[in-house]
Amino acid sequence: MTGELGGVSGPIRHALVTVRQWFDSDYFPEGAQAVRERPDRFEFRRCLPFLFIHLGCIGLIWAGWSWTAVAVAAALYWVRMFAITAFYHRYFSHRTFSTSRWGQFAFAALGNTAVQRGALWWAAVHRHHHKHADTEHDVHSPGMKGFAWAHIGWMTSSRNFPTNYDVIRDLAKFPELVFLNRFDLVVPALYAAALYGVGELLRVAAPGLDTSGAQLVVWGFFVSTVVLLHGTLFINSMAHVFGGRRFHTRDDSRNNFLLAVITLGEGWHNNHHRFMGAARQGFYWWEFDPTWYALKALSWTGLIWDLKPVPQSVYVDAESQRRRARAA
């Protein structure tokens, strides 16, 4: 693959590689491993996708707003946040429940509408995070590299761009998942096109809703996606800085109720780092975890099954640490 661009000058070559990687995220002329060995640094070209979705929100000036568009944006935020928390995280990253091959493909596609790349890349990065949490090898530790880098800076470094298929061999054996992961702009493009089509249909068929294709794209794609992205990234940053620590884990993970509300239960991050193999992250009934409630409901339909529980030993550990804290 190196010879494809061998006669092209440096800046132009980098531009061409970047553009091609937007459409084929497994394209690395020098090899994926060579890219992963680069130094960690901010790279403007890797910022362009983030700039695009943020700048897209400016379209509000021309598209305007309607209660219909706001409702669509809010609904799609919650649906896609659930796709990230339940499927990208609890299923693909940790395999905390089971589903069919068709089910996991559908869940991967649904998660892909959140524009957080493919499920396999997401799972590979997250498994690496748990293995090296809050150490020098963690790609997004606020304690090691600062809050801003942990929040979004790490995603601007090309060394974090390749998917490490070695750590997700259980998922990489499915070619349909690899396809979604490799061509991770296909689903978001279809999602945006569908929003435009529905908006235009409503403009003609239901003018009383006061919406349009452009308006639904701005609200349902750009605004909803930007809020969703930062809501998810707050788990990398804020959930390792602000909150309580029920368990004395080897990292800086925290439990944070506000983040649990924003992310449908992911805010119980210290719980999760104590035991990542459970389908629920709110270990107690009073810990708000809508993703767990929805997964439980889905299990009644037969679409998913074998939801893994929190082991009794974890609750014993929690009680033991609570007693020691009181004694101190």
**Residue 119, pLDDT above cutoff 90:** yes
Of 23 and 71, the one with more pLDDT = 71
Domain total of the chain: 1
Q: Confirm whether 219 is domain-assigned.
A: yes
Q: Confirm whether 5 is domain-assigned.
A: no
Rounded to 10 degrees, the C-alpha dihedral 125/129/130/132 comes to 130
Average pLDDT over residues 103-118: 97
Q: Confirm whether 50 is domain-assigned.
A: yes
Q: Confirm whether 2 is domain-assigned.
A: no
Please state which of the ranges 27-36, 119-128, 264-273, 283-292 shows the lowest mean pLDDT: 27-36
Q: Confirm whether 14 is domain-assigned.
A: no
Q: Confirm whether 15 is domain-assigned.
A: no
Question: What's the token pair of residue 229?
Answer: 């992205």
Q: Confirm whether 224 is domain-assigned.
A: yes
Average pLDDT over residues 286-309: 98
Q: Quote the CA–CA distance of 43 and 119 in Å, as a whole number.
A: 23
Quick one: what percent of the chain has pLDDT higher than 90?
86
Phi, psi of 255 (to 5 degrees): -95, 130
Per the CB < 8 A criterion, the answer to whether 128 and 164 are in contact is yes
Neighbours of 48 (CB within 10 A): 13
Rounded to 10 degrees, the C-alpha dihedral 178/183/184/190 comes to -120
Domain holding 233, by residue range, is 44-327
pTM over 0.95: no
